[in-house]
Amino acid sequence: MITKRYLMGAAAASLMAIAGSAFAGEALDRVMSNNVLKVATDANWPPQSFVNENNEMDGFDVDVARAIAERLGVGIEFVTPDWGVITAGRWNGRWDISVGSMTPTKERATVLDFPAVYYYTPNSLGVHEDSTATTPSDLSGKVVGATEATTYYYYLDHSLVIDGQDINFQIDPGEIRSYPSTAPGLDDLRLGDGVRLDGIIAGFPPLVKAIEDGYPIKIVGDPLFYEPLTVAIDRGDKEFNDKLAEIIEAMHEDGTLTEISLKWFNHDFTKGY
């Protein structure tokens, strides 16, 4: 099932790569004339984005998106397509922006523009609390999980490239198991050490959150890499890109982002490492 979904995602991505690109100014015009910012985000990625007690979208990314919309002076609307669909680009105006903690990779840059980095997450290795692993390299040769088409996954298959960072691939996994999101991977890990998974690569915040929620999981060693995370828009709209860059710059400077980060993570992740 996981493999099938992964293949489907790949098929979907290649399909989207066929044609199409936004015209300059089009997206910004659309946002301003509709008076609403349509934000694509994951509904399944707490604490960045999730469905809260009132069954509304909530989380760090959601708050950032709200702040952006506020500064644009427009309303906000959330849509929740699959992550693979968002990262594949060619949105055709279905939504205007992704505020989804996206890593600006070279592949994604061929279909998306990245106006600005708004925070950095440390990414870590999580294992079951019964695990004997003491350093990430202890997981070499084991079964390690990661969300498909993410930097976690690319870290495991050693294809990850992040501008300005020398990445030390400490784990050489025996098998990489891919998941549609972090949550099912954590559920597999909680079943026991090595039952389905020996470890999982995920963002530090969701791992901490899972541990707080009683998952029998612990984090091994220091973060494996820091990931700059950006908002993304469909490629080719310079005006929209510049406008967003300006807004996020301002949000960095006046402490808005720090405030939101402290609210959700108890850490300020907006300053880099």
Partner 1 sequence: MLYADTVESETLVHKPSFVVGMLLIFTALFTLFDLTESLFGHLMRPVIGEPSEAGFLGSLSVGFLVGLLLTINVVAIGFVRFRIQVLIVWAELFILFMAFFYGFDLNFEFIRSKIWFMVSQGLVTTLYVSALSITLAAMVAIVGAVAKLSSNGFAYAIASFYTSFFRGLPLLMQVYLIYLGLPQLGYVIDAIPAGILALTLCYGAYMTEIFRAGIQSIPKGQWEASRSLGFGFGLTMKRIILPQAFPLIIPPTGNQFIAMLKDSSLVSIIGVWELMFLARTLGSKDYRHLEMLVTAALIYWAMSICLELIQSKIERHFRTKSH
Is-contact 255 249, C-beta < 8 A?
Answer: no
> Which distant-in-sequence residues (6+ apart) come within 8 Å of 97 by Cβ?
37, 38, 39, 40, 65, 68, 231, 232, 233, 244
What's the CA gap between 17 and 42, in Å, rounded? 21
Interface with partner 1, residue 219, by CB under 8 A? no
What's the CA gap between 209 and 35, in Å, rounded? 35
Alpha helices in the chain (DSSP H): 2-16, 26-34, 60-72, 83-87, 106-109, 151-156, 182-190, 204-212, 238-253, 256-265
Question: Cβ closer to partner 1: 150 or 247?
Answer: 150
Question: How many residues would you count in the chain?
Answer: 273
- For the four alpha carbons of 182, 185, 189 and 194, in that order, the dihedral sign comes to negative
Question: Rounded to the nearest whole angstrom, what is the least distance from the CB of residue 250 to partner 1 in the complex?
Answer: 29
Rounded-to-10 torsion of CA 218, 176, 229, 138: 40
Question: Rounded to the nearest whole angstrom, what is the least distance from the CB of residue 8 to partner 1 in the complex?
Answer: 6
Phi-psi region at 201: left, alpha or beta (left = phi > 0; alpha = psi -120 to 50): beta
Nearest in space to 27 (alpha carbons), one of 121, 92, 71, 86:
92
Question: Cβ closer to partner 1: 59 or 104?
Answer: 59
Question: Cβ closer to partner 1: 226 or 240?
Answer: 240
Question: Rounded to the nearest whole angstrom, what is the least distance from the CB of residue 139 to partner 1 in the complex?
Answer: 22
Three-state DSSP state, 90: coil
Question: Cβ closer to partner 1: 46 or 145?
Answer: 46
Judged by CB under 8 A, the stretch of 7-15, 26-34, 134-142, 249-257 that binds partner 1 is 7-15
Pick one of 2, 32, 36, 85: the residue that binds partner 1 (CB under 8 A): 85
Interface with partner 1, residue 16, by CB under 8 A? yes
Interface with partner 1, residue 26, by CB under 8 A? no
Is-contact 83 184, C-beta < 8 A?
Answer: no
* Strands across the sheet containing 49-51: 44-45, 49-51, 57-58
Question: Cβ closer to partner 1: 40 or 248?
Answer: 40
Judged by CB under 8 A, the stretch of 67-75, 128-136, 148-156, 177-185 that binds partner 1 is 177-185
Question: Cβ closer to partner 1: 71 or 81?
Answer: 81
Question: Cβ closer to partner 1: 164 or 214?
Answer: 214
Question: Cβ closer to partner 1: 55 or 168?
Answer: 55
Site map (CB under 8 A) of partner 1, residues 35-64, x = contact? --------xxxxx--xxxx-x--xx-----
Question: Contact residues for partner 1 (CB under 8 A)?
Answer: 4-5, 8, 11-12, 15-16, 18-20, 43-47, 50-53, 55, 58-59, 79-82, 85, 88, 90, 92-94, 181, 183-184, 186-187, 209-210, 213-215
